[in-house]
Amino acid sequence: MKLTEYLYQQCLRVHNQITGNAARKLTLLIIDEKIKELEQQPYDFNQRIAELRQMKENMDY
């Protein structure tokens, strides 16, 4: 096996291990930032904020 192929396989293996947990954490961070952004808006986004918070709670399980 060539070194580059070996490195590719190792990277792919590690990527697959962290993808699920990392993607979940990243999604939760994005939801948090979107909530903060909507809270700063002059318009009423309470329904959307509630939906995002519910989405976040559902992901916590």
For 20-34, the pLDDT digits (tens) are: 777 778 888 888 998
Predicted TM-score of the model (pTM): 0.62
Say which residue, 39 or 21, is predicted with more confidence. Answer: 39
CB of 3 closer than 8 Å to CB of 14: no
CB of 31 closer than 8 Å to CB of 55: yes
pLDDT at 28: 86
pLDDT, averaged across the chain:
83
